Amino acid sequence: MRNPAPAATAATVLIVDDMPENLEVLDGLLRGAGYRVKAANNGRTALRLAREGDRPSLVLLDVMMPGMDGYAVLDQLRDDPATCDIPVIFVTALAEVRDEEAGLAQGAVDYITKPLKPAIVLARVRTQLQAKLARDLLRDQNAWLESEVARRMAENDRIQAVSIRALASLAETRDRETGAHILRTQTYVRMLAEELRTHPRFAATLTQEYIDLLARSAPLHDIGKVGIPDQILHKSGKLDGAEWDIMKTHAELGARAIEFAERDNGTPVAFLALAKEIAHWHHEHWDGTGYPDALAGDAIPLSARLMALADVFDAMMSQRVYKCALAAEDVRNDILGKRGTHFDPDVVDAFVACYENFVEIARQHADVR
């Protein structure tokens, strides 16, 4: 008679039978084959031994026992997260086909009838232990794979965030006046989106995933300023008509740069799609008088409409070499006055609801001069 495979020899088997002679036979047979054995002569003891110490890899369970029969023991093993995965083989004198069918339907993995045949018992034990080992290895592998996927996703997430911040900082270094403008507008945009997420007009769009992507994309709204000549970008006075026309091209320049990145990637990237929308159209006006494409109303992507208000609020609240910062109340009133012309009316209403938080963000992250 061949011994079980080495992987199975260290396994612990719990044997349960109310007859001492049956326990003695099984104990001798299993120990002789190299297994560790726990023995119980009733259901209550079996449940305790299954849950404590060296938990068994397999249970050989008699069906007909006084008090708690094998079916009841199996039910409790399956109901307990600590023991639900332990395979159970019914060992019983009930030899009718319907008895075997009932046992398997109850959740047993196999069914051995008495009188016991040692070779059959060991073969069934070995088969079920090997199957459990394979299941455990697969479970552990799946857990490792899930952990590895989560780790890599988190790493990609960090790389993506760092890359966005680096690109945004590049634009920021070209435009000396922006300071913490990127951080503030990113926060304002998220705040507006969170306020509007249950609004009937926006609920279908403003999922948590969309809001997270929106906030991640927001720092790239002025990436196109990298392409604006220094003498225009850094001019301390008012721009003339020709200079203003050049300055306005930063919206298309930014969108084009992001589009090139999308094309090189070969597959769509959700945050880049939003970043392109924001860069391209955050200077459009609700009434169609903005630039670069004179879009109006809902033709302007929601991401750009949110950034439009955030960008204007921040610009008006901030000091520049060519202007002083305005008082918060004056900024609020100015934005309210442009409800339905420059800005989506519902976005303005969200701003009003968040106004105190906007002012606090502006104060906490004010430019250091």
Q: What is the pLDDT along the chain (369 residues), one digit of tens a residue?
A: 444 444 444 799 999 999 999 999 999 999 999 999 999 999 999 999 999 888 999 999 999 899 899 999 999 999 999 999 999 999 888 766 776 777 788 888 998 888 889 999 999 999 999 998 888 888 888 888 888 888 877 777 776 666 666 666 666 666 655 558 888 999 999 999 999 999 999 999 999 999 999 998 898 898 888 888 888 888 878 889 999 999 999 999 989 988 887 776 666 777 788 999 999 999 999 999 999 999 999 999 999 999 999 999 999 998 776 678 899 999 999 999 999 999 999 999 999 999 999 999 999 988 765
- Whole-angstrom distance, CA of residue 319 vs CA of residue 323: 6
Q: Tell me which residue of 167, 251, 268 sits closest to 217, measured CA to CA.
A: 167
Q: What residues contact 290, with CB distance under 8 A and at least 6 apart? A: 283, 284, 308, 342
Give the pLDDT of residue 3: 47
CATH 3.40.50.2300 occupies which residues in the chain? 6-144
Q: Which two tokens stand for residue 17?
A: 């039978």
Give the pLDDT of residue 165: 64
Q: Which two tokens stand for residue 109?
A: 């993995």
- Asked if the 6-144 domain carries CATH number 1.10.10.10, the reply is no
The class of domain 175-364 in CATH terms is mainly alpha
Give the pLDDT of residue 4: 44
Q: Which two tokens stand for residue 148?
A: 């590895």
DSSP string of 203-216, one letter each residue: TTT--HHHHHHHHH
Length of the chain (residues): 369
Q: What angle do CA 66, 72, 74 make, to 5 degrees?
A: 120
Helices 302-317 and 328-337: crossing angle in degrees, nearest 10, is: 140
Give the pLDDT of residue 237: 81
pTM equals: 0.60
Give the pLDDT of residue 358: 97
How far CA 349 is from CA of 74, 100, 104, in Å, comes to 61, 70, 64
CATH 1.10.3210.10 occupies which residues in the chain? 175-364
Q: Which two tokens stand for residue 176?
A: 């000396």
